Structure 1
Amino acid sequence: MYQLHQYDTDTAMNSALANAIREDLQQAINLRGKASLALSGGPITIELFQILSHTQLPWSQVYITLVDERWVDRHHEDSNERLIHTHLLQNQAKSAHFISMTTEAENPYDGVDEIGQRLKQQLPLPIDVLVLGMGNDGHTASLFPHAANLAKGLDMHSNQLVIDMKPLTAPHDRISLTLPVIVASQHLYLQLSGAKQNQVFQQALDGNDSNDMPIRAVLQQRPDLEIYQSL
């Protein structure tokens, strides 16, 4: 059964999650001399990134990538990479290694192989800490309901690290970690903020169809998922 951590405010939730991440990364560094961290984008993550940027860790031994990315220039306002550089790779965390999820290709379909190879070569696997978000349509990462490539992204027997995705309900083509990579993470967290997201999460718990709400696939594969939720 998933573990639920509830907080009155986003700040309290983000502070507690940042502390859990710090402990997990330090433990991984102690065990193998390096650690990997995969992060999602979205407004709720900005404060988390800022708190982490001031956290005392041997950041030069931490390798950071994204759970998913929109196929836009890294300076675009919708770029998750821009959020990472602006809010996380600062202060104490400026020496961390960042692994981008985009290429010079015109679309994610043409860039997916290069990104897969990049992650295999540079990112310590399995991922030590991975933080998911969830959309109000029940998507997580860039695994969107009823998208053409969703079945491949959810395939637990796939050998792919990443998948290209064209959402039906959101702008921009995307690239995303696949479900098997996500659920193989040593420590897996889900951030939820506010009443609407909590309502959507309850809806996800009440059904089984991952095509309708891909977050269900994560819940089915990782019943020990830790949820950090603000009320």
Structure 2
Amino acid sequence: MTIEIFDSGDDLALAVSRQLAARVHSVATVGRTPKVVLTGGSIATRIYGRLSAENADWSRAEYWWGDERFVPEGHEDRNDRQAREGFLDRLGVPAEHIHAMPAHGCDLSMAEAADQYATTLPQDPFDVVLLGVGPDAHIASLFPGHPQVNETERLAVEVFDSPKPPPQRITLTYPALNHTKVTWFVVAGADKADAVAKALGGAPIEEAPAAGARGLEETVWFLDTAAASKLRR
């Protein structure tokens, strides 16, 4: 595990966008399809806005999400809408490479929707999983004190009572999130400093779900100085 600290959220976003482009390019050049799990949030928006067709052929990669709000398709709260507007549509990623989670109105229960999404996940490890971290140290929609953090069998599960609105969500679990070569945490802002310190300080996953995510080959925390301000140096 490594920690990289940047002066600002914009510097962080630029660095992650460049490293993500390099990762996608390197995987594609050896003849494999890059497999990427996307995240939502304000820092993700800044990262996506900096992705360029000059640095990688984004259309060759396939994309999933770590979690999604169970609201109608196209709703402004959807993480997939954020990514579509941020780079997927702009950079010409074909629809068959975009694995969005089911939306409210899909005629499936949330449990059925979660199980259906699990069938879309690749058998080989993801190449990159991007994760934001909430002020309570949650990742995806795995929240402190909630039973989903202890799921060991299902790859995707339903969440009915998210403490952060909207309350109904679908999330990948640790067995899916940790089936990745590389995990990158992207965290900016002073409101995340306590969460970062808790997760990196050895807190149990029931208190800091971010502590339970890691890559098989590499785990990197990309932080701005505000988010890193409470780490012990």
Could you tell me which residue of structure 2 aligns to residue 135 of structure 1? 134
CA distance, structure 2, for counterparts of residue 177 and residue 166 of structure 1: 14
CA distance, structure 1, for counterparts of residue 109 and residue 69 of structure 2: 10
Question: 1:52 is paired with a residue of what secondary structure?
Answer: coil
Partner residue of 1:166 out of 157, 160, 178: 160
CA distance, structure 2, for counterparts of residue 129 and residue 92 of structure 1: 19
Could you tell me which residue of structure 1 aligns to residue 45 of structure 2? 46
- The answer for unaligned runs of 5 or more in structure 2 is 226-233
TM-score (norm 1): 0.86
- The answer for unaligned runs of 5 or more in structure 1 is none
CA distance, structure 2, for counterparts of residue 168 and residue 58 of structure 1: 36
Counterpart contact for 2:48–2:83, Cα < 8 Å: yes
Counterpart contact for 1:149–1:166, Cα < 8 Å: no
Count of residue pairs the alignment pairs up: 221
Counterpart contact for 2:195–2:208, Cα < 8 Å: no
Question: 1:200 is paired with a residue of what secondary structure?
Answer: helix
| One-letter code aligned to 1:115 | Y
Question: 1:45 is paired with a residue of what secondary structure?
Answer: helix
Counterpart contact for 1:68–1:174, Cα < 8 Å: yes
Alignment of 1:209-224 (within 5 A): 209-218=204-213, 224=218
The structural deviation recorded for 1:33 is 2.9
State the percentage of identical aligned residues. Answer: 23
CA distance, structure 2, for counterparts of residue 108 and residue 148 of structure 1: 16
| One-letter code aligned to 1:69 | E
| One-letter code aligned to 2:98 | F
The structural deviation recorded for 1:230 is 1.3
Q: Summarize the Cα distance change of 1:62–1:16 in structure 2 as closer, same or farther, 3 Å threshold.
A: same
| One-letter code aligned to 1:81 | D
Q: Say which is worse superposed, 70-79 or 88-97, in terms of deviation.
A: 88-97
TM-score (norm 2): 0.85
The structural deviation recorded for 1:18 is 0.8
Could you tell me which residue of structure 1 aligns to residue 113 of structure 2? 111
